[in-house]
A and B are shown apart, each in its own frame.
Chain A
Amino acid sequence: MNEKEKEKSNAGTLSIDAMDAQDVLEDAEPWEPIETKLVLWSFAVAIIALIIGLWLVPTSILH
């Protein structure tokens, strides 16, 4: 492998310049119920972790 090739392979083949990135920002799919579920579950986990944390962590404002 010559120096140039070596450099190229080390740099990785993917770069923003080498790709058309526009479609990454366009054509949003319609919102689906599974996304609502994912978001609500995340918030629910946060609330549960908050309650457990408030109770267990000795430095929380509850103590």
Chain B
Amino acid sequence: MDLTLSYRGNKWIAHNDKMSFSGTTLDDLDDKIKTFVVKSGLLKNKNMYKVKMYFNNAEIPAWIRQYAQHYFNRVLIIKARREDENDGFIKP
């Protein structure tokens, strides 16, 4: 899943054409995305699921963009939880 990341109104927002997630911290945001991925069955028959997030530089003031054209991209790897594991991830 590819998401565009931005920071607005004191919230991190990750979205694409179909869905949108938000959280006051990146941890919050990640939790919501993980919950969605697990609940929607995207992890079915897979060991892991990658969510790529690309920060939208249009959010950075235009005068700064000439100095730096990249804030950061991140990848969230959501692993399927085996019965014997307790890694903090949500059980499918």
Chain A interface (Cβ < 8 Å from any Cβ of B): 9-15, 19
Q: Is the contact region of chain B dominated by helix, strand, or loop, or is it mixed?
A: mixed
| B8 close to A13 (CB less than 8 A) | yes
Interchain CB contact under 8 A, A14 and B62? no
Quick check: A13 and B59 within 8 Å, CB to CB?
A: yes
Bound: A22/B65 CA distance, A: 24
**Closest beta carbon of chain A to B15's beta carbon, Å:** 14
The docked-state distance in angstroms from the alpha carbon of A11 to that of B65 is 10
Residues of B within 8 A of A10 (CB): 58, 62
20 pairs, A vs B, C-beta closer than 8 Å? A9-B58, A10-B58, A10-B62, A11-B61, A11-B62, A12-B59, A12-B60, A12-B61, A12-B62, A12-B64, A12-B65, A13-B6, A13-B8, A13-B58, A13-B59, A14-B8, A14-B59, A14-B60, A14-B61, A15-B61
